[in-house]
Structure 1
Amino acid sequence: MHLVQTMAYVNDTPWHGLGNQLAHNQPLEVWAQQAGMNWKIEESEVRFVAGSTGLGSIHAFPEQKVLYRSDTKAPLSVVSSRYQVVQPAEILEFYRDLTEVGGFELETAGVLKDGKKLWALAKTGQSATLKGCDRVNGYLLLATACDGTLATTAQFTSVRVVCNNTLAIALGDGTGAVKVPHRSQFDAQAVKRQLGIAISNWDGFMARMKALSERKVSDETAEAYFRRVLTYNAGSTSDRPVSTTNDSAVKAVQALFGGQGKGAEMASASDTAWGLLNSITEFVDHQRRARSDDHRRDAAWFGAGATLKQKAWDEAMKLVP
């Protein structure tokens, strides 16, 4: 079963062939239609029937409301009455000035989980090439959910072209992402003002990528790195925490690093810390066990996979001066 319900894209076909391909520089109205985002999130107060026969009296529950799609009337979630909705149109509209005058280009947009999660991804125009023609492009991801799983999040992301691996551009200072909880009103211009600080982060991120690509590592260093990244807190006994290492995952990423990974043989990645990091991102984005490719991508952008990639980045940065 696909989590992706509808999607539009330009350039290469993403996500195992799903989606409607668009020509470049289409207006947002075309994106809304082709990405399946031309509907609204409606809301209604929660009501219930008191009585076991189904013929009892109807009562309201004012602290909660139901969110549903305007087109199909399909329910999306039950949320607090204070919950602030972010509409599908707002996700696309966020990019209007960025694409019209800012040099950005929308690349994918769509609907996950029947409308419970919405996203759009745009190329920023920023790019870097490491030794051996290893190209990394900058993107801006905006996503929201109405099922309680995600604050509205604007996140700078990098994509390594050779393998389509994604990595959040987070430099430890928190400016790579802006999160707006649903108890607050989503103010697109305020978010973009905050992200204005982060656009300059690309140069710092590029310098760190270059440092990783120039740091040679031994087999022993590689194994120690993978074990640090893939060791989890498995709970605790009465006196101390218990950790466990995912040995099958360690074996998988060692194989990717050893030459099976896409781009593993490139000068930037072969026996380098950049290669270590990309072995983890390829594993998370394309190989990690999941119910489906879509569940894996959801986790890689927003969930446990994203957390694992951040850990891999932090550990990689310890390897460079």
Structure 2
Amino acid sequence: MQALTLDKLLSYRNDISIPDLATGEALIELRLAGICATDLELVKGYAGFSGILGHEFVGTVTAVADDKHRDWLNRRVVGSINIGCNVCEVCRRDGPEHCLHRKVLGIRGKDGVFADYFSLPVANLYTVPEAVPDQAAVFTEPLAAALRVVKQIAALPITDIAVVGPGRLGLLIAKVLSLAGYRVTVLGRSAASLALPKQWQLATGLITDIADNRFDCVVDASGQAAGFAQALRIVKPRGTLVLKSTFAGNAALDLSKVVVYEINIIGSRCGPFADALALLAENKLPVETMIDGQYQLQDGLAAFEHAAQAGVRKILLQPAKPHEPCR
């Protein structure tokens, strides 16, 4: 099969073996996959990953390892990306997201989805509702990550929120926070970067125009150290700073404000897939307006170059023969 593989350098190959299935796994044929900021950082060396990249997908189950899972055959699915050991205390108490021995699809110890076929435990799969087309379903994983922020701050006395970074994830975070009733402002470095947030009926502003200590809560979805510094600058004393960015490199950061003004920092990662699918089925988020290009896997290197350009949001990958729309 064909796949995009990372071994220090990103490569397209068409001689990769279709994966064998372990107990409890399903074989999934790719329908659509999305390139996200984490994929771009992995290519730069983040996390030291080698293998097939990709973790945002919608696909069709074509085989299962166990007869008891035969009812999954031919289902259109998305899947959560963390695969825990299922025996440690963290897995038993909290689930696989923070298992110290976990594998993460296309990120840590598990080949990802930028391939004709890939495998994932059936326990990780979610059936896509018929009302959700492929080009919306492919946003399930980042939308779930956005919804995680809503859950994490729900009990805090927060009204005004700034989202730093109007890119792929930042836009989704801002919209779900707005739908949850918060007053949200999306902050970017240029007017052009704020055009789509305005189209989504979100308040916007230039980060350089914002005074120090302005917001109760700031979400950093900028994907860079400079964005974190700006987010820290504009959060109020005793405010909350939610970190969503992962990036390669070791940045020098001045954290004195965190101590002096008792800033509450929350790390935020993966979220609820079922809730994300339900929200997509309600058609309240125009996610397809985020798509800036769609490439076949064989053109994957060009797709990555496009995705890395400033201002580009979602670039999709598809197998050589695109699937018929599934409704």
TM-score (norm 1): 0.28
Tell me: higher relative CO, structure 1 or 2? Use CA pairs within 8 A at least 6 residues apart.
2
TM-score (norm 2): 0.27
